[in-house]
Chain A
Amino acid sequence: MSRNKLVKAGSVAAVLALGAAACGGSSSGSKPTSTGVKATYNAAIGGVVNKSTKVGGTINYVASSDFDSLDPARTYYAYSWDYQRIYQRTLMMFKPVAGKDGASVTGDLATGAGALSDGGKTVTYTLRDGITFETGAAIKSADIKYALERSFAQDVINGGPGATYLSPILVGGKTYKGPYKGGDLASIDATDPKKIVFHLTKAFADFDYLMALPISTPVPKASDTGRNGGANYQFHVVSSGPYKIATYQPGKVLNLVRNTAWKKDSDPNRLALPDKINLIEGLDSADEDQRVLAGSADMEIEGTGVQQDAQSKILTNPTNKVNADNPSTGFTRYISIQQTVAPLDNVHCRRAVQYAADKVALQFSRGGPIAGGDVATQLTPPNLSSYKKIDPYPSGSDNKGDLAKAKDELKQCGKPSGFTTKIATSNKGKGPKTAEALQQGLKRVGINAQIVAVDPSTYYSGVIGLPSNVKKQGLGLAVAGWGPDFPTPYGFFESIVDGRAIKKDGGNSNYAELNDPAINSLIDQAGSETDASKRNDLWAQVDQKVMDAAVILPFVADKALTYRGPRLTNVYINQAFGIYDFVNIGVTS
Chain B
Amino acid sequence: MGRFVIRRLLGVVVLMFIVSAATFAVFFLGPKFVGADVARNFCGRVCNEQSLVEVKAKLGLDKPIYDQYGAYVKGIFVGRTFGSGETARDCPVPCLGYSFKTDLPVWNQMTDRLPVTFSLAIGAGLIWLVSGVAVGILSALRRGTLFDRAAMSVALAGVSLPVYFTGLVALSVFSYKFKWFVNVHYSGFTDNPAEWAKNLVLPWICLAFLYAATYARLTRANMLETMGEDYIRTARAKGLPEKVVIRKHGFRAALTPIVTIFGLDLGGLLGGAILTESVFGFPGVGKLAVDAIGQQDLPVILGVTLFAGFFIVMANLIVDVLYAYVDPRVRYS
Give the B-binding residues of A (Cβ under 8 A): 2-4, 60, 65-66, 68-69, 76, 153-156, 158-161, 163-164, 180-181, 230-232, 234-235, 249-252, 280-284, 286-287, 290-291, 293-294, 296-297, 428, 455, 457-458, 460-462, 465, 469, 472, 503, 505-507
Contact = CB atoms under 8 A, between A and B. Distances in A.
Nearest to B42: A158
Could you tell me the dominant secondary structure of chain B's interface residues? helix
16 contacts: A2-B45, A155-B55, A158-B44, A159-B45, A164-B46, A180-B87, A231-B103, A249-B112, A251-B288, A282-B283, A283-B281, A287-B279, A461-B43, A503-B48, A506-B40, A507-B48
A296 B182 contact: yes
A179 B168 CA distance: 49
Interface string B45-66: 1111101101101100000000
Contact of A284 (B48, B183, B279): B279
B36 interface: yes
Given A153-B87, A155-B54, A155-B87, A462 B182 contact: no
A462 B102 contact: no
A433 B330 CA distance: 56
A2 B45 CA distance: 9
Interface in B190-226: none
A457 B294 CA distance: 8
A159 to B, nearest CB: 3
B85 A181 contact: yes
B87 A232 contact: no
B260 interface: no
Contact of B87 (A3, A230, A250): A230
Interface stretch (B148-156, B170-178, B306-314): B170-178
Contacts of B280: 284, 287
Contacts of B8: none
A251 B43 contact: no
A542 B112 CA distance: 52
A209 B52 CA distance: 28
A39 to B, nearest CB: 21
A506 B186 contact: no
A159 B45 CA distance: 6
Interface of B: 35-37, 40-49, 51-52, 54-55, 57-58, 83, 85-87, 89, 98, 101-104, 109, 112, 168, 171-172, 175-176, 179, 182-183, 185-186, 278-283, 287-288, 291, 294-296
B176 A251 contact: no
B55 A158 contact: yes
A231 B48 contact: no
Could you tell me the dominant secondary structure of chain A's interface residues? loop
Contact of B185 (A3, A164, A280): A280
A282 B281 contact: yes
B57 to A, nearest CB: 8
B287 A290 contact: no
A505 B102 contact: no
A285 to B, nearest CB: 10
A458 B35 CA distance: 12
Given A66-B102, A282-B283, A458-B296, A159 B46 contact: yes
B230 to A, nearest CB: 53
Interface hub of A155, A280, A286 (most chain B Cβ within 10 A): A155
Contacts of A164: 46
A234 B45 contact: no
B283 A251 contact: yes
B296 A455 contact: yes
A223 B85 CA distance: 18
A461 B47 contact: yes
Contacts of A461: 40, 43-45, 47
Nearest to A293: B176
A108 B49 CA distance: 35
Nearest to B108: A250
A65 B112 CA distance: 16
Contacts of B112: 249
A200 to B, nearest CB: 20
Nearest to B46: A164
Given A155-B55, A252-B283, A280-B185, 17 more contacts: A3-B45, A155-B87, A158-B51, A159-B45, A160-B44, A161-B46, A181-B85, A249-B283, A251-B287, A281-B283, A282-B283, A284-B279, A294-B175, A458-B41, A461-B40, A506-B40, A507-B48
